[in-house]
Structure 1
């Protein structure tokens, strides 16, 4: 006699539950389809893209924050002293013409000489009765030829033309003759013979004329008579007019 218990027939509900369980187990063990593989790959790519976007956004945020902090630091430091830029070793400033030294000319009436640019020239000084009357003057202008104002007694006579003339402005603001050059080879240098100005000989008078520049400061040394005869007797002392 057998020991096995008699098998009871399954109900419809039990049979249905068992079939559903077998189907689920079979689906889990069944190989993955191509569509499922593609879906899983798409999900993985989307996950990687999302992570990359988050990383990029974080880096951009850090850069913006750092730039803002640097800008705030620069604004905060602008109120303080700023160190001057280092000078360029190759920079050579252009000299200012106004800072150039004034040319110095010396007239020594005692030694009858004129000194300019390291050269010394013999002169004929003014007569004692027709002194220049100045001790420091500034050269006003230079003229290759200059016609002097005529004297009352010189009307109708030959024009008094001076060559290589240099003029100055006196204390009365009159332009006057300072020096001139004669064409006479027998010109008596070393004597006081001129009626109120300085004379130079033809040998080096033009050279001295070229050496003197307008604006030069002329120092007049030596003895001069305290009083002078009138301009009628000292024609070189007469103010030069615009009619030259």
Structure 2
């Protein structure tokens, strides 16, 4: 065996340069060695694989563009319409009717006889909202008699001047029932003792009270109409 190293394979550029030089001198090219032939064959195979890979990629890109997948976002799935969640209806406002001419109070389908206020000390409202309830309420003393009037099962409202005033109450059993059906209280309405307790228990703060019947302007100052005075309760 020869100790000389095998000849170095020429690159494609070197081979082309030598061929051009031989052609210029009119010399036929020397036959390529086996290593050179194998090298050129390997380069051609690699070139074909590169071309095939580029062609496959180009075909895939064309298919992607044709299918509309490139440059456009996928169609989102259909979202079902949200179903409405039922909400409970608000509780209806409790309604109470007071008829000053018929001397009656109606609540939840039950009717009670009342005594309407004096014409000289009317309630002065046609529609009020119940503000509070008191089992016992002491009004300010009368300026003349100095007598502090105590009202049982009292129900109050707030008037248009933002003053809390007496709306209805129950007669004291000691006072008798002779005033029922007449215009007696000084700016409110009165019920019989048992009826007053039933109405007191049934009526709720926030109840809407419709007051029917003619009411004239107050002929007396509020100091003379005890039920029209502003109520101040120590809490």
What range describes the TM-score normalised by the shorter chain of this pair? Answer: 0.5 to 0.7
| Residues 1:85 and 1:136: Cα distance change in structure 2 (over 3 Å) | closer
Larger radius of gyration: 1
Residue 82 of structure 1 is aligned with which of 79, 84, 94?
79
Matched residue count: 165
Match of 2:180 in 1: 189
Match of 1:168 in 2: 157
Match of 2:203 in 1: 212
Normalising by structure 1, we get a TM-score of 0.61
CA apart distance, 1:84: 2.0
RMSD: 2.7
- When structure 1 is superposed on structure 2, of 103-112 and 228-237 the one drifting more is 228-237
- When structure 1 is superposed on structure 2, of 138-147 and 224-233 the one drifting more is 224-233
Match of 1:108 in 2: 99
Q: Which structure 2 residues correspond to residues 1-244 of structure 1 after superposition, within 5 A?
A: 76-78=74-76, 82-84=79-81, 93=86, 95=88, 99-155=90-146, 157=147, 159-184=148-173, 185-243=176-234
Q: Is the 8 A contact 1:138 1:217 kept in 2?
A: yes
- 2: CA distance between counterparts of 1:77 and 1:240? 70
Q: Which one has a larger percent helix, Structure 1 or Structure 2? A: 1
CA apart distance, 1:182: 1.1
Question: Alignment partner of 2:197: what SS?
Answer: helix
CA apart distance, 1:86: 6.2
